[in-house]
Amino acid sequence: MRTRITLSCTECKQRNYNTTKDKKTHPERLEMKKFCRFCRKHTVHKETK
């Protein structure tokens, strides 16, 4: 079953993106490099609760 997760910027801590993931195949926390509109640059975004 796919669950909705929220990604937040590691620099400014803003929650920018929503996405889904399969917890059965990927139990660890997701990390992506995405554009943060508040920092105005590409930063690492981590999965939040």
Residue 42: the pLDDT is: 97
Domains of the chain in sequence order: 2-48 (2.20.28.120)
The whole-number average pLDDT for the span 9-24 is 95
Binning pLDDT at 50, 70 and 90, where does residue 8 land?
Answer: very high
| pLDDT (tens digit per residue) in 18-45 | 999 999 999 999 999 999 999 999 999 9
Close Cβ partners of 36 (under 8 Å, ≥ 6 residues apart): 9, 11, 12, 14, 16, 42, 43, 45
Rounded Cα distance, 23 and 34, in Å: 21
Residue 30: the pLDDT is: 94
